[in-house]
Chains A and B, each alone.
Chain A
Amino acid sequence: MIDALYIAADSPLHRLPAGLKLAAIPVLAALLFALPGWPVAAVGLAIVLALLPVSGVPPRRAAKQLRPAIAVIAVLFLVQLWFTDVAAAAGAALRFLALILAATLLTMTTRATALIEALEALFRRLAWTGLSPERLSLAIALTLRFIPVLGQVVEEVREAQAARGRDRSIVALAVPVLVRLLKTADEVAEAIDARS
């Protein structure tokens, strides 16, 4: 699914190393939270927005990805407005908008493969803590690999239940999905054994 977000293009943002882009997100977050106030958040958002034309990502695609987040940010704004004032609420909303847009730009300009490699490099540096870099990167690869499979399983079960007239029952959906996922997990573990 993360690769379904990726937009193939040859922009300067696409060419930047994945590790650098990945590191930029927490740096941006730290800066935005360390320097409070809506003007700083607005500048942050302006900088991220300025990257949009450089990224080769069609603004409409970026807007589509942001749509679900807008509702959450609107709620955040209203809650902040209730407890604080307009300036603080605007600051919080702009800060989150900047961060979510930055993360969207990361996934739209970076292949999953490159992200995994960057994370693997990070995990290797953490090997002294006893974490196994191979295991961690396999876990991430498996997650990325099975997100579309999960979507497909849910769709198949939903269809089968709808055909039986039970398209509104959560239990009728959840039970077969869970059973299939547990069985799949067993079979994947067996296959990993066979392949390693």
Chain B
Amino acid sequence: MIELRNVTLHRGERRVLDGLSLSLAEPRIGILGANGSGKSSFARLLNGLLLPTSGHVTVDGIDTRDDVKAARRRVGFLFQNPDNQIVHPTVAEDIAFGLKPRRLPKPAVAAAVSAILARVGLAGSEERLIHELSGGERQLVALAGVLVMEPAHLVLDEPTTLLDLRNRRRIAAAVADFPGQVILVTHDLDLVESFDRVIVFEAGHVVVDDRSGPAVHAYRALCR
């Protein structure tokens, strides 16, 4: 479980999040909100990419301020633009990037890479070059690079914004298969339809926190 206690976050002079306390226990949680509402900053707090200005964020009991590396190992993070997340020129190398500090033998790394590629629907793509992949395939490679680390939680920051409908479905399917907790920041209301809980942000505050149906309904009303 990820918990936030009295979290306030400033970025420069601006107060992005204000006095936030939440327990995130449900397996599937959607985060909605307008641009600039604080939802991306909120996502970055969950794996310690940002540390709260005051208050505490804990991941399965680990305070991100005390041991950010241990917290990050438990929380995988997928960014909106795969081009900024993929650091190696070929698929297999990039997926193996996160595994490097574990110093596994080469065949074990290759087996893990192949297995994860099959899981995201890109079996046999090990030697393909990143710049020759489509945008959707790149996002799947970025997701594979996160999943191969076997995190307990998966935080996704608008992962389908740059994708067409087919690729959105491929990402949604890969995310649906994830056995751990999913926290998905999105503008795509279809993606959170079946989620256990949806939280809506506005100007750094939680304005709706409910089951998916009523929360999406309330969000639509807010956007009118």
Contacts and interface: CB of A to CB of B under 8 A. Distances in A.
A148 B88 CA distance: 12
Nearest to B93: A113
Kindly name the residue among A3, A112, A187, A195 whose own CB sees the greatest number of chain B CB atoms within 10 A: A195
Contact of B49 (A134, A142, A148, A190): A190
* Majority-rule SS of A interface residues: helix
Contact of A194 (B49, B81, B83, B88): B49
Nearest to B81: A187
Nearest to B79: A191
13 contacts: A113-B90, A141-B88, A145-B88, A145-B130, A187-B81, A188-B84, A188-B85, A192-B87, A194-B77, A194-B85, A195-B146, A195-B149, A196-B97
Interface string B3-41: 000000000000000000000000000000000000000
Contacts of A188: 84-85, 87
Kindly name the residue among B49, B81, B83, B89 whose own CB sees the greatest number of chain A CB atoms within 10 A: B89
A187 B101 CA distance: 22
A187 B88 contact: no
B74 interface: no
A160 interface: no
A138 interface: yes
Contacts of B72: 193-194
Nearest to B80: A187
Closest 10 CB pairs of A and B: A148-B131, A187-B84, A191-B85, A194-B77, A144-B89, A195-B98, A145-B89, A141-B88, A188-B84, A112-B89
B98 A196 contact: yes
Kindly name the residue among B79, B81, B86, B88 whose own CB sees the greatest number of chain A CB atoms within 10 A: B88
Contacts of B1: none
Nearest to A187: B84
Given A148-B131, A193-B49, A195-B97, A142 B84 contact: no
The bracket for how many chain A residues form the interface is: 20 to 34
B89 A184 contact: no
B129 interface: yes
Contact of B47 (A4, A152, A194): A194
A192 B85 CA distance: 7
Contacts of A2: 89
A112 B145 contact: no
B87 A134 contact: no
Interface residues of B, number: 25
B101 A196 contact: yes
A149 interface: yes
A196 B87 CA distance: 12
A141 B87 CA distance: 7
Interface in A134-187: 134, 138, 141-142, 144-145, 148-149, 152, 184, 187
Contacts of A191: 79, 84-85, 87
B100 interface: yes
Given A148-B131, A184-B83, 10 more contacts: A3-B89, A112-B89, A113-B93, A141-B87, A142-B87, A145-B87, A152-B131, A188-B87, A195-B98, A195-B149
Contacts of A196: 97-98, 101
Contacts of A148: 131
Nearest to A145: B89
